[in-house]
Amino acid sequence: MRKLTIEELNRLSLADFKAADKRPVVVVLDNVRSMHNVGAVLRTADAFCIEKVYLCGITPRPPHREIRKTAIGAEESVDWEYHADILPLAQSLKADGYQLLPLEQAAGSTQLDAFETQTGDQYALIIGHEIEGVQQAVIDLSDTCLEIPQFGTKHSLNVSVAAGIAMHHLTKG
């Protein structure tokens, strides 16, 4: 084995990425405080060719040096949009046929590894505040909550790590 060179990776140019077909997944960050988390989610959304990232509430938005430091330019490749209030956005996404999937520990949640994506379905992965999680009003609108199985002593994962795990799962099919 050997590491691949940058040329061997055949990465898309910015123009080719913008024109490429995207996975039928959007990510909604609601009241995520950390610029690091925003940048990391944008970078991961680029890696998985996600349709769009929605930034809601107090979630910081580009352009910002701290977001760019983690996103490494993904804030330019990934389409993103700001909404002050997540509830009208969630209702609109649902009306447009997206399944609303908060990533949250909740009664009746579906373990992520048991959730099967279906061809033709569209998914809105919703990530909430680092401490408070996804708002109950959003959960009430949702199709199901997804939960990442965890086996250690901690009760949660970092927002960007959890988002990355879920994006991988939703786009692998």
Q: Is 119 domain-assigned?
A: yes
Q: Is 68 domain-assigned?
A: yes
**Type of residue at 131:** I
Q: What was the pLDDT predicted at 83?
A: 98
Q: What was the pLDDT predicted at 18?
A: 97
| Spatial distance between the Cα atoms of 85 and 138, rounded to a whole number of angstroms | 11
Q: Is 86 domain-assigned?
A: yes
Confidence of residue 121 (pLDDT cuts 50, 70, 90): very high
Q: Is the pLDDT of residue 173 over 80?
A: no
Model's pTM, two decimal places? 0.97
Is the CB of residue 55 less than 8 Å from the CB of residue 163?
A: no
User: Mean pLDDT of all residues in the chain?
Assistant: 97
Q: What was the pLDDT predicted at 136?
A: 98
Q: Is 6 domain-assigned?
A: no
| Spatial distance between the Cα atoms of 30 and 16, rounded to a whole number of angstroms | 29
Which residues lie closer than 8 Å to 142 by C-beta, 6 or more apart?
Answer: 90, 100, 101, 102, 126
**Mean pLDDT, residues 94-102 taken together:** 98
Kindly write down the DSSP assignment for every residue of 50-91, as one continuous string.
EEEEEEETT---SS-HHHHHHHTTHHHHS-EEEES-HHHHHH
Nearest to 117 by CA among 139, 78, 144, 92: 144
Q: Is 133 domain-assigned?
A: yes
Q: What was the pLDDT predicted at 115?
A: 98
Looking up residue 69, the CATH number of its domain turns out to be 3.40.1280.10
The domain in which residue 138 lies consists of 21-171
**Mean pLDDT, residues 126-144 taken together:** 98
Is the CB of residue 26 less than 8 Å from the CB of residue 54?
A: yes
Q: Is 129 domain-assigned?
A: yes
Q: What was the pLDDT predicted at 9?
A: 94
| Spatial distance between the Cα atoms of 96 and 153, rounded to a whole number of angstroms | 39
Is the CB of residue 70 less than 8 Å from the CB of residue 77?
A: no
Q: What was the pLDDT predicted at 66?
A: 97
**Mean pLDDT, residues 151-173 taken together:** 95
- Cβ count within 10 A of residue 13: 9
pLDDT digits (tens, 9 = 90+) for 51-77: 999 999 999 999 999 999 999 999 999
**Type of residue at 27:** V
> How many domains does the structure of the chain reveal?
1
Nearest to 102 by CA among 81, 79, 127, 122: 127
> Which tokens go with 167?
């994006």
Q: Is 94 domain-assigned?
A: yes
Q: Is 5 domain-assigned?
A: no
Is the CB of residue 121 less than 8 Å from the CB of residue 95?
A: no
**Mean pLDDT, residues 117-139 taken together:** 97
pLDDT digits (tens, 9 = 90+) for 20-46: 999 999 999 999 999 999 999 999 999
